[in-house]
Amino acid sequence: MSFENKEKKAFWFYPETLTGVETHYKHDNCRSKSEFIEKAIKFYIGYLDEENSVNYISPLISETVKAEIKGTEQRLSRLMFKVAVELAKLAQMTASMYNGDEESVRDLHAYCINEVRRINGIINCEDAVAYQQG
């Protein structure tokens, strides 16, 4: 915006408003009080216009968030499937070497549930080996 396009107008302000302008215009990196007032008016106009643009922007944000959530859900599902396959392989290998009865399997199941709760799902193979050997 060039200075030639500006128009000089007279406006009435309360003294405390002008005191606020005097106090803050330099802190806002404005070269003059007029620049500060113009910037404040544009900000307020943008604030008022935002009410109209929310109706346009809100659905865009909503759709973007939904797409991100769906993508994350798909990635997590694929990872969980891979983990389930690895766990099934491990369970089959362990079962083929295990010679326990049904009660032992139930006890092991209960122990594993409690252990996973206790360690908050962070499994450490070294700790499991130490438990089995101790």
pLDDT of the residue at 81: 94
For residue 96, name the pLDDT band (cuts at 50, 70, 90). confident
Mean pLDDT of the chain: 86
Q: How far apart are CA 130 and CA 134, in angstroms?
A: 6
Burial-class residue 36 by CB neighbours within 10 Å (0-12, 13-18, 19+): buried
Q: What is the pTM of this model?
A: 0.43
Gyration radius from the chain CA atoms: 34
pLDDT of the residue at 105: 85
Give me the residue spans of the domains in the chain.
13-74
Q: End-to-end CA distance of the chain: give it in Å, rounded.
A: 80
Q: How far apart are CA 69 and CA 92, in angstroms?
A: 34
Q: How far apart are CA 40 and CA 46, in angstroms?
A: 10
For residue 73, name the pLDDT band (cuts at 50, 70, 90). very high
Q: Answer whether residue 108 shows pLDDT above 90.
A: no
